[in-house]
């Protein structure tokens, strides 16, 4: 007995296969994203990185944060306001530091760049560990 496949069946099967192939390709994406880190005040104005050093008494207290964004590049000077869109976390929050692949304590130089792999759950993929800034 010969059965013909209807065009609807062929269309649905083809669509499913294309979606499955696309999903697999997205999971195998090896694109890296650079993420920048800065020591700044609550308003996103860059301050001396020693104010975010929680080793050796250099920390500046509760008014300073580590700001993070894939839009941050290295080279912003002290006193400049960071571009909108970053996230911040307390400079002495060791759990947040670890989630971003940073040392759990100590000084993080302004303009530190870390690379993460998109689609692979890289060190900076969470991006939601702090308050939104802007």
Separation CA 39–CA 43 (nearest Å): 11
Residue pair 40/69 in contact by the 8 Å Cβ criterion = no
pLDDT value, residue 85: 87
pLDDT value, residue 131: 42
Q: What is the pTM for the complete model shown?
A: 0.63
Q: CA neighbours within 13 Å on the CB side: how many for 114?
A: 23
pLDDT value, residue 13: 53
Looking at residue 81, the DSSP 8-state letter turns out to be B
pLDDT value, residue 21: 52
Beta-carbon count within 10 A of 85 CB: 13
pLDDT value, residue 117: 60
Dihedral sign (CA 99, 108, 86, 74): negative
Instruction: Going from the first residue of the chain to its last (134 residues), give the mean pLDDT of each consecutive group of 10, the final group possibly shorter.
Output: 57 50 52 90 94 71 89 93 93 92 91 75 41 44
């Amino acid at each position: 007995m010969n059965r013909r496949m209807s065009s609807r069946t062929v269309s649905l099967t083809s669509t499913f296969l294309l979606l499955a192939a696309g999903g697999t390709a997205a999971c195998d994406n090896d694109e890296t994203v650079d993420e920048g880190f800065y020591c700044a005040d609550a308003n996103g104005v860059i301050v001396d990185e020693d104010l975010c050093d929680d080793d050796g008494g250099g920390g500046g207290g509760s008014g300073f944060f580590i700001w993070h964004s894939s839009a941050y590049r290295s080279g912003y000077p002290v006193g400049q306001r960071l571009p909108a869109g970053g996230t911040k976390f307390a400079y002495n929050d060791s759990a947040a530091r670890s989630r971003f692949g940073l040392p759990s304590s100590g000084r993080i130089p302004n303009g530190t760049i870390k690379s993460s792999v998109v689609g692979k759950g890289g060190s900076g993929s969470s991006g939601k560990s702090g308050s939104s800034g802007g």
